[in-house]
Chains A and B, each alone.
Chain A
């Protein structure tokens, strides 16, 4: 029987595994991107390609070793080269002599026929349309549960009394959601998980900084690609809010754009009225929205050589001045060192703390 894999982005693999298995596929879960993944990836990709191409290439080669012959991945919206990566990966892999089948899921709103064909190819168990919809709904619920859990962990971590507690509970709780199958089980696992996180001893009086993270979706969602920036910030006493989650993104591009998506667009329009591909415009819009919501600072994450984010970065200088909100940008690739990143993050957090102390007259931050 054929074995299938897919790109790994954070914890979402738990949902995709369940869904693909429901459709009758034998699934190989892609291993968490590691140094080895990267080594493999950069060996066979052009140096100037962006980080996601390199990591995914490594993931595909690792899963080929594990016996896969089919890869399911997503296409893209707008002028960003990531939309062509499926074809490029396919070509690179066949140049290396690997015969793998590539199933590319394009957004149904733009390519309904292609979407239908891809779903049919994945439907090994020949499930009825009604059955598929039920599976999609359940998978969606699981994805939401995973996202909700992650969001709460960003709030609890900077307030925890014993350092490392949140990460430990979060890892355990992820497994509960992973094990849940029916909708009732998922809902139950979710509420137990949220409760477990909430019952971590916290210091409610701690002055916590709030930082919004904007940027390109892949480096935002896969912690291995951004050197676990959220955990690092949480440990520095910073509450993090990510501008993008898979549940948010998939919705924006699958059906009608949500009101949330439109506000981001509106917020960005004085600075950038065009879609320039990738998430350039979202980075600007989200920065404006975070500033309006009173966040202390913004961190922009982008793969090295990502054009939309380079454009956004240049514009963010102006947004930063207009809204008096500090912005720190990281361009990530295999050359990025954790030490250098930590130095900049620490300095950025110091900057935000002193700024806040100065503005609000708060005595001190206990962290």
Chain B
């Protein structure tokens, strides 16, 4: 049986997905990046391998996320795609006529507008990470509430307080102020959810025509409080896909499937890579005053990837 591997290496999580030939999800893993992408990618492949039937052949691999190049050279990806395309592809696999995709991940949030299955517009947060997963994580641990209960608490509030949501630092001091005034925790959390949604729609969603069906994905979609705040602010229902946290990886696998259908072969190095020694090194290039920080990734003793330079001096000629 043929299957396709998708890996999404994000700031907070690494997702590894296997799709079967029809595009259905066979396995899907959500692992924390913990600042060690290489080890977690290998761990993810190891766990995935354990879940697969023996006769499964991986016929294509796609990578996405901010670590897509790293993952791409490690596994030998057929396609290395940006997160926006990957998320849009995954969303239209589930709802072919989806017109709006809201995606909030660990450190970035984006909105993708589709019409008739084609991405027509998108935006990504630029100067501010307020309202992304990392901030919610941080607030949950400050309030000593497990992150998976954070959103549910918001639903219990009847009189949300108004929280300044433009900037994480101000949002936090505003929340502390409200808490010292004696407001209930659930009211503050609901206020925070509303503030973050407001911030998202004003900054990321600015000027975009949000039409149904609307899909909400990314790690933050687990938060029912944020979801409710979105439905309230937009005045329309929001759909959350079953695999909302790993949609990027699903999209990458699907793109690999399309790519392999064109090229007829895969560059996947095989699951053996989960046992290979990888290490990275870095140095400052002194070729010009830019002093680029060059990062190299080694497989054993061989350099397989190098990036960080502004010119092409350190590019590696692909060994096909």
Contacts and interface: CB of A to CB of B under 8 A. Distances in A.
B151 to A, nearest CB: 28
A363 to B, nearest CB: 10
A354 B92 CA distance: 14
Nearest to B208: A317
Interface in B261-291: 262, 288-291
Contact of A354 (B66, B81, B118, B288): B118
A364 interface: yes
A364 B207 contact: no
Given A31-B289, A36-B289, A346-B85, A358 B116 contact: yes
A36 B291 contact: yes
Given A339-B66, A343-B84, A347-B85, A326 B121 contact: yes
B319 interface: no
Nearest to B291: A35
Contacts of B288: 32, 34
B73 to A, nearest CB: 16
Interface residues of A, number: 30
A351 B122 contact: yes
Interface in B116-170: 116-122, 124, 126-127
B291 A354 contact: no
Nearest to B83: A343
B118 A347 contact: no
B316 to A, nearest CB: 12
Given A339-B66, A351-B122, A314 B291 contact: no
Query: On chain B, which size bracket covers the interface?
Result: 20 to 34
Nearest to A336: B126
B22 interface: no
A228 interface: yes
B82 interface: yes
B290 A35 contact: yes
Contacts of A346: 81-82, 85
B8 to A, nearest CB: 13
A99 interface: no
A351 B262 CA distance: 19
A235 to B, nearest CB: 9
Interface in A266-323: 314, 317, 320
A320 B208 CA distance: 11
Interface string A317-347: 1001000001000010001001110011011
Where chain B touches its partner, the secondary structure class is loop
A244 B13 CA distance: 43
Where chain A touches its partner, the secondary structure class is helix
Interface in A164-188: 164, 167
B310 interface: yes
Contact of B120 (A227, A228, A347, A351): A351
A37 interface: yes
A257 interface: no
Contacts of A339: 66
A227 B288 CA distance: 15
B207 A314 contact: yes
A355 B289 contact: no
Contacts of A314: 207
Interface string A232-270: 000000000000000000000000000000000000000
B312 interface: yes
B289 A347 contact: no
A37 B289 contact: yes
A215 to B, nearest CB: 16
B127 A335 contact: yes
Contacts of B289: 31-32, 34-37
Nearest to A346: B82
A203 interface: no
Contacts of A350: 81-82, 84-85, 119
Greatest chain A CB density within 10 A among B83, B84, B315 is at B84
Contact of A344 (B120, B124, B207, B262): B124
A232 B15 CA distance: 28
Contacts of B315: 164
29 contacts: A31-B289, A32-B288, A32-B289, A34-B289, A34-B290, A36-B289, A36-B290, A164-B312, A167-B312, A227-B310, A331-B127, A335-B127, A340-B124, A343-B66, A343-B124, A344-B82, A346-B82, A346-B85, A347-B119, A347-B122, A350-B81, A350-B119, A351-B120, A351-B122, A355-B118, A355-B119, A355-B120, A358-B118, A364-B262
Q: Which 4 A-B pairs have the closest CB atoms?
A: A347-B84, A34-B289, A346-B82, A317-B207
